[in-house]
Amino acid sequence: MSAALLSVRPVHHLPGRVRFRYRAQAGLDAEALVRAVHNLPGVQAARANPPARTLVIHFEPAETDAEQLAGALLQLDLAAHAPRRPTGGHRDGLAGIAVSGALLAGSPLLPTPLQMPATLAAALPLFAEAVQDLRQEGITSHVLEALAVAISAARRDFTAANATIFMLALGEYLEQSIARRSDDLLKQLLRPDTGLVWVEENGQERQLDSASVSVGMTIVVATGMTVPVDGTVLGGEAMVNEAAMTGESEPVRRKRGDTMLSGTVVEEGRLRIYAEHVGRNTAAARIADYVEQSLSAKSASQLNAARLADRLVPAVLGLAGGTWLLTGDWQRAAAVLQADYSCALKLATPVAFKAAMYRSGQQGILFKGGDVVERLADADTFVFDKTGTLTTGRLAVTDSIAFDPGYSPKDLINLAASVEEHYFHPLALAVVEAARKHQGQHFDHKEVEFIAAHGVASVIDGQRIVVGSRHFVVEDEGIPVHAHQPALEQLYRQGKTLLYIGFGGRLLGVIALKDELRPESAATLARLRQLGVRRLVMLTGDHRQRAAEMAAQLGLDEFHAELLPHQKAELVAQMKARGDRIAFVGDGINDAPALAGAQVGIAMQQGADIARLTSDIALLEDGIERVADAKAMALATMGRIDSNFKLTVGANTAILAAAAFGKLSPVASSVAHNGSTIAILLNALRTG
């Protein structure tokens, strides 16, 4: 016995579920691997993802565990579990097509005594599969096909029998190719490992294996290199090709403060990037995980179509039997048996879902399964978090108020920017950007001291300058602010964040900052209404006055302010209880309960890890317009699935009726059935 897997390593473990990463011998048969794993004690389900070299196993904890499974995997012999691969005719791919095609063309030239044996030999794999299906599953489409060939052969109509075998081989090969193509489209979203990575430490650059990179490191990428982490640009400037992640072919300029995604490529320039997400937490790795999930996920539409297809098989057999009883014409019965609903109904729906998920993945929208597409199309109420969702989540300077007449508002901004220009924090970035816009004066200062969660301090002209929170300036530094309390309270009531500047032991002034409304928010909400969304709601922990102002500006139907995280989830539950079908859009840790509680949770690109994990859809591009794109794509996909369903039922019903009334020969019925099925699958596969 030769073990198929060389090594296995658990990479994610939950109660009753484990994902292994494996190394295998060349030519590993993933289908055989899954069959073998299903037979291990305690295993309930398994699926393999060969491109990612991962194996997900669902198991009964009372019977086995991850450690026992790992040991069993290393002992697996796949020889006994290889899938059936008949040696001729119906299931033999291109070889089967070639053999059956040659028989169809050459059968009339064979001596009469050899025609029957040649036809039966070509049909043997089909008959064997039909017998196996009959034993294990009952009457299936394969049983009907075998009956049709048997009837034609029994009537010594070898042309019809051989033509049927050929059409079945050709049709099934094309159908399976189309189904595989839908999987391949999704797998194109997997990103290659970036290998060695350049990191900067203590002013020196050195190479590390990508697996050794950790959060907080400074990554250096130059022309031609793939970005290995998600993070923010600390310095440098470059033209970056983001087509792999966003579908946008035009390179974009990236500079200090910009967000970078793994899997993108630096076309020209050089960047220093602060690593925020590494390894399996990067956007590229999440795509791989979502692809793995989506290849096995089944929607209600897919399950219903499969159940309907199975129920219709006996009906087709009954129609064939009834046709023969009424007419005594075996040729009509054989023609009826050529057409059934099974292939198109079972394949068209998953193919359409996977093609849609590929299109959306190219646009930076990741659906975690076909069932999510279905639920989003059905959603009639969209609930939005405010900060980071309807707003940019990035602060901008709105006011600069100097309390010392010797300094102007611009001086205040310039002072703060001079000491904060090397500080990586949203407030610091906003102040530096404000100073850059008016090309402000730079104040020379001593070494800057960073006080975590408080602010920064330095010395200018021999006097200590502190920039930061009220707590830092007032309580830690002892700088009084009572004389300016009315002005400060007014700014607070306007929902603004205040940055205090102390200089020489006195309050020099404050800089007020405010989150900006996304410029595309209003247009996105209007488009959602055009797409049939009934209600638009905003939930926020922000001040009621600010929330009311924004709700009026965006034309929302409803808003709730000053909420705690659990209150957001409670409101979502109340809306669901009254019959609303809810899609919740959020980005923060406090949104996770609401994201999990909605029919569909959509996490923004800048969202917290837990928000992305609990969501059904993750956006890889920081644009709220992608929410409307996702809704439009879901509706279009369900529309295509519905039209394909109607085409399948209509076309096959017409073929069955024509065959029953003697209008189609068995060969014509087979051509019409297989041709219409392939056309429907090609329509489902369309990615445009």
Please, what sign has the CA dihedral across residues 473, 474, 476, 478?
Answer: positive
Can you tell me which residue has the tokens 């029998």?
161
Radius of gyration of the chain, Cα coordinates, nearest whole angstrom: 32
368 contacts 293 by C-beta, under 8 angstroms: yes
**Does residue 371 have an active-site annotation?**
no
CB 618 within 8 A of CB 366: yes
CA distance 379 to 599: 8
Q: Taking the mean position of all CA atoms in its chain, how far away is CA 295?
A: 11
Q: Which amino acid is at 238?
A: A
Q: What span, in angstroms and rounded, lies between the C-alpha atoms of 337 and 146?
A: 9
Task: Decide if 238 contacts 297 (C-beta within 8 A).
Answer: no
Angle at 211 between CA 210 and CA 215, to 5 degrees: 85
Sign of the dihedral through C-alpha 544, 548, 554, 556: positive
Burial class of residue 214 (count of CB atoms within 10 Å of its CB; 0-12, 13-18, 19+): exposed
Cβ(365)–Cβ(619) below 8 Å:
yes
**What DSSP line would sit under 239-260, residue for residue?**
EEE-HHHH---S-EEE-TT-EE
Burial status of residue 628 (CB atoms within 10 A of its CB: 0-12, 13-18, 19 or more): buried
d(CA 632, CA 527): 9
In 3-state terms, what secondary structure has residue 9?
strand
User: What sections of 7-111 are H helices per DSSP?
Assistant: 30-38, 66-74, 93-106
Residue 45 tokens, joined: 């389900």
Tell me the C-alpha to C-alpha distance, in Å, between residue 207 and each of 193, 201, 211, 218, 229: 15, 11, 12, 12, 15
| Residue 672 contacts residue 339 (beta carbons within 8 Å) | yes
Q: Cα separation of 56 and 66, whole Å? A: 11
Could you tell me the sign of the dihedral formed by the alpha carbons of 238, 239, 245, 246, in that order? Answer: positive
Closest CA to 681 of 178, 168, 340, 93: 178
- Which of 29, 289, 371, 385 is catalytic? The answer is 385
Strand partners of residue 222: 270
43 - beta bridge partners? 59
- φ/ψ (deg, to 5) at 624: -70, -20
Burial of 74: CB neighbours in 10 Å, binned 0-12, 13-18, 19+: middle
Nearest of 62, 8, 58 to residue 38 by alpha carbon: 58
Catalytic residues, which ones? Answer: 385
